[in-house]
Amino acid sequence: MASLDLEAPEQRFPGLRDYLAAKFGSDAGFARIEPLATTPGAKGGGYGVPQLVHWRSADGEHRYVLESVRPGGFGHEDRADRAALVLRALDDYGELPKHVRAVDAGALSRTGPAVGLAGTGEFFVLTEFVEGEPYARDFERIASRRRLESLDRDRAVALADYLAAIHHEPIVHETWYRRRLRDLAGSGECIAGIADSYPEGGFPDAAFLERVESLALHWRYRLRGRAERLRRIHGDFHPWNILFREGTDFTALDRSRGRYGDPADDVAALAINYVFFALREKGRFHGPFADLFHLFWNRYRAASGDEALADVVAPHFAFRALVLANPLWYPAEAEGTRRALLRFVVGVLERERFEPAAMGELSTHGEP
């Protein structure tokens, strides 16, 4: 999630200072509100820019992060769509270990403190501020030095172990597993929505995207009876949502799309980035990022005991690769990298089972 992009703080966030003063004390009414600095890198698109809200009082400095959802596509067209994401963040952030905590949620108002809903505008969630550097910065450093260091391996192992731990307990729920598969294939934020956001008139064309969506639908019906796999998940576990501090100490951000789903969602969300950077740097699945992929994958398999992961991960990989290949999200990416990612999308969806040993072939053979 992210903030609205308007001019001055008073215009962007009407009623926010009154809300802060009512909730935290009069000093909060003088809070400074400014865009939260983000790390430059490959990623270009997003739903907006989080805002850092900070002030000083007699008991010290206070810092929070304000997030709301930018109006637009991806299923965010109506205020009710955006409000649902805010309420989900409020409910779900604090339920996951090592995740940043949501402090409150509300709605902006042009007539007074942002507390009631009648006459309100956009919804927001206020989270605690945590120090750290996005894991994506590690990827840039590895690409620069062209080799791995021990900390790179330690962090991949720590992330695999974290996912195995949060995925450990089965969840029994009548409808959530099918809901997540349905969203994966057809929601505004997942395969269908990402396909709709590709530029018209270029590659991939509508025929290619239709083929991808048809294959994703096949996987939905193939997997919809696998509700025994339902677990607690993060839902958007990628390198820009992981803040590392010293060593392997980290905090996760922006848990998304509901607290339950298939563990393959989280595994694919992170693992595809090792694939992406290998293709960016080498033009093929080779080198330090390929090594990290195998280390992460094998460690997760061993720690989780998930013997069925390779049977179900394909549509999750396809969704994440579609995002990485999309110029809206990664505008500076080379054409060759995009095409390799899209070959991977089709290749992984067309196979009956994902085989890590076939990674090189998946991104270099076949269309496009």
What are the pLDDT digits (tens) for 72-110?
778 878 888 888 889 899 999 999 999 999 999 988 776
> At 18, is the pLDDT very low, low, confident or very high (cuts 50, 70, 90)?
confident
| Sequence-ordered alpha helix ranges (H) in 197-260 | 206-223
Q: How many CA atoms lie within 13 A of 267 on its CB side?
A: 30
Residues of the chain with CATH 3.30.200: 9-128
Give the mean model confidence (pLDDT) for residues 185-191.
94
**% of the chain residues with pLDDT over 70:** 90
Higher pLDDT, 142 or 121: 142
Structure tokens at 204: 């991939």
Level-2 CATH architecture, domain 9-128: 2-Layer Sandwich (3.30)
pLDDT of 242: 98
Mean pLDDT of the chain: 90
Cα separation, 308 vs 331, whole angstroms? 35
pLDDT of 10: 61
Q: Is the pLDDT of residue 71 over 90?
A: no
Cα separation, 188 vs 205, whole angstroms? 19
Specify the fold of 133-364. Answer: Aminoglycoside 3'-phosphotransferase; Chain: A, domain 2 (3.90.1200)
| C-alpha angle 40-254-310 in degrees, rounded to nearest 5 | 95
- Pick from 67, 45, 52: nearest CA to 1: 67
Q: Which of 16-30, 45-59, 227-241, 326-340 has the lowest average pLDDT?
A: 45-59
pLDDT of 120: 66
Structure tokens at 43: 């990623």
Q: Is the pLDDT of residue 6 over 90?
A: no
Q: Residue 365 contacts by C-beta under 8 Å, 6 or more apart in sequence?
A: 343, 347
pLDDT of 111: 62
Residues of the chain with CATH 3.90.1200.10: 133-364
Give the mean model confidence (pLDDT) for residues 208-220.
97
pLDDT of 1: 52
